[in-house]
Amino acid sequence: MRSTFAMPREELLFGLLISSVHAGQHLFLRLFPPLIPILVIDLEASLWQLGLLVSVYMFAGGLFQAPMGVLSDRYDRQYLLVPAFLAMGIGYLIFVLAPTIGAGLPSLSVAGHVFDGTYQVMALGMFAAGVGYSVIHPVGYPLISANVAVENKGKVLGMWGSASKVGDAIAPLLVGVFILVLAWEWILIGVSLFGFGFAALLYVAFSRDAYETRPPSIADDETDGAADGPGLAFLVPMAAIVASFFFILFAGNGLMTYTPVFVTDVYGYALSIGGLEIGPESVASFYFGVLLISGAVSQLVVGGVTDVLDHRTVLVALLGTGAIALLVLAQASLSPLVLLVVFVLLGVSLFGLNPARDALISDITPAAYEGRTFGYIWTLALVGSSVYPVIIGYLADTMGLRASFAVLAAGAVGGAACIALLYSSRIHPGAAS
């Protein structure tokens, strides 16, 4: 067990540092949605307008990952990572100051909808925060490769992935606690100040020469062919991985979007504890929480397993498990306990596979192109999969929730099939015989 999960102290410390970066990124990402019910009243804005601000954030966060990946392969990565948190902090400060800054701006009319100056400045702030968000993936993965030994990379990737779920959980918790005593503006200002402070901490941490932040030079990679650019030995297997991304995201996004309504509508479980009535929506949120927590914890375990087993095998096994669990949800009527077990399996399989997936991408990618590889993949993934909730919602409306979850299983199967192609030396010349 020690050989599977132990690592040198310096690599563990680096893993904690880089994982805190990922947690911070997700903290900023998830901060705005819990404030929407309050902003609807305070800003006298419609839900769709506030939702559009989230879309602006996500669009910038997805679109700019590709160019940030190119920059990550050319320049010292600490000079990208530190400004990323400054940008996220500045973006939310702009949002807070929007009523003052935008008061004198002319309104903008688009397709019959009017956006006043305040809203325009808020959108600018969310765009700036999204640009900061876009830096983390294309910089974080190459930093892990440069500072962690190959035999320990899976464990650190597990820490990195698990930390994102911690950030997801902290954001609504912070809002829920501080909104009791502070106005929403002060919450955003506080998080912005945290971003500035964290940027300073990262600057100090990466300026001590304890970690390698510079990208490998082209000369360093001439021996493996990187000087002439990645060839078919890279592009063909990477195409299979990108295809698997879209299949896996179809299943994962469906679960993230529709698990609460699935549990509420299909099972409608309710509890009564000491006279306290817990309705179906609250019980469904509990099952959803179990799904996410299982994904966070399992990534730590999967990361260790990834260091000793073939990454493809780990992925195929997890995706196969996820497909079976989704089919069980679609076909069977389950007791509360069995339903809980199924959601744990879904969390472990579909949300716990990230370390193996990321390690496989890193293995195939030449070091000089790792930043842009992850950047392009995440840009394609975030932008391309943005329509999935609409598609899955249409399927649920026309086929029923149960049947739509069977379609989600097809996403897991498709992802496993794409990964299985990498066992072929024709698709992946570096595949073991």
Q: Does residue 221 surpass a pLDDT of 70?
A: no
Give me Rg for the CA atoms of the chain: 22
What is the C-alpha to C-alpha distance for residues 429 and 363, in angstroms, rounded to an integer? 13
Residue-level pLDDT at 172: 82
Closest C-alpha among 165, 170, 181 to residue 31: 170
Helix (H, G, I), strand (E, B) or coil at 288: helix
How far CA 389 is from CA of 148, 259, 285, 371, in Å, comes to: 36, 12, 18, 28
Residue-level pLDDT at 104: 83
Mean pLDDT of 371-397: 84
Angle among Cα 107, 51, 372 to the nearest 5 degrees reads: 100
Work out the percent of the chain whose per-residue pLDDT is above 90: 55
Residue-level pLDDT at 227: 46
What is the C-alpha to C-alpha distance for residues 347 and 324, in angstroms, rounded to an integer? 13
Please report where in the chains the tokens 């329509």 appear, as a residue. Answer: 387
User: What is the pTM for the complete model shown?
Assistant: 0.82
Q: Does residue 339 surpass a pLDDT of 80?
A: yes
Helix (H, G, I), strand (E, B) or coil at 246: helix
Closest C-alpha among 252, 249, 6 to residue 149: 6
Buried b (16+ CB within 10 A) or exposed e, 135-173: bbbbbbbbbbbbbbeeebbbbbbbbbbbbbbbbbbbbee
Helix (H, G, I), strand (E, B) or coil at 231: coil
Residue-level pLDDT at 229: 59
| Structure-model confidence comparison of residues 198 and 284, the more confident one | 198
365: how many CB neighbours lie within 10 A of its CB? 24
Please report how the helices 311-331 and 354-364 are oriented relative to each other, as an axis angle in degrees rounded to 10.
140
